[in-house]
A and B are shown apart, each in its own frame.
Chain A
Amino acid sequence: EAGVAQSPRYKIIEKRQSVAFWCNPISGHATLYWYQQILGQGPKLLIQFQNNGVVDDSQLPKDRFSAERLKGVDSTLKIQPAKLEDSAVYLCASSLSGGLVTDTQYFGPGTRLTVL
């Protein structure tokens, strides 16, 4: 079974530029998650989709971050404009069912973003 795919793996941009990350979840997984992991910290949930609807985006900085999951499969996370404090690893995860609290999440390798 193929895992969660993410691209690019690394990205370096200047502050105030825009950047987009892509995630393709495990086939058949209804729920998709985006996390931000700052160096030395645990992952922080940014947004959770169930199919193509948003379940939780309470920690997404909506003035600069946006995410979409068209057709309920792959997803993109965008930052516009980027700030220095956005430097982090952005992790995508997916789970099989409709967002049950007991669902096991499967993580992709992440995208490491450096904002200069």
Chain B
Amino acid sequence: AQSVAQPEDQVNVAEGNPLTVKCTYSVSGNPYLFWYVQYPNRGLQFLLKYITGDNLVKGSYGFEAEFNKSQTSFHLKKPSALVSDSALYFCGSSASKIIFGSGTRLSIRP
């Protein structure tokens, strides 16, 4: 069965430090993975997606994600965190069905 997991409910990072938000998947075939961000009282905003090709995907607001087939992971990364990056982040897959992970709350302290 198709599934996506975000193992961390919360990630805390100091401003200026690199950040990683983890995502693992269980999908047969191409997983078609994506990341969205949600700010309070707002809908989800698209960050990036992996379809095929280069394993390093670059997205909006300086974010990138690395597709790792052997580890079935698609972690979201940013070299230098900003306080404004504080939000709720969702990983998902649109392979056979559209599913989202449970979300990771990212908190960047000044």
Contacts and interface: CB of A to CB of B under 8 A. Distances in A.
Nearest to B46: A104
Interface stretch (A14-22, A73-81, A105-113): A105-113
Interface in A87-102: 91, 93, 101-102
B98 interface: yes
B83 to A, nearest CB: 23
Contacts, number: 52
Interface size class of B (residues with CB under 8 A): 20 to 34
**Interface residues of B: mostly helix, strand, loop or mixed?**
loop
Nearest to A100: B94
Interface string B72-110: 000000000000000000101011011111110000000
A45 B43 contact: no
Nearest to A112: B41
Interface of B: 32, 34, 36, 41-46, 49, 51, 90, 92, 94-95, 97-103
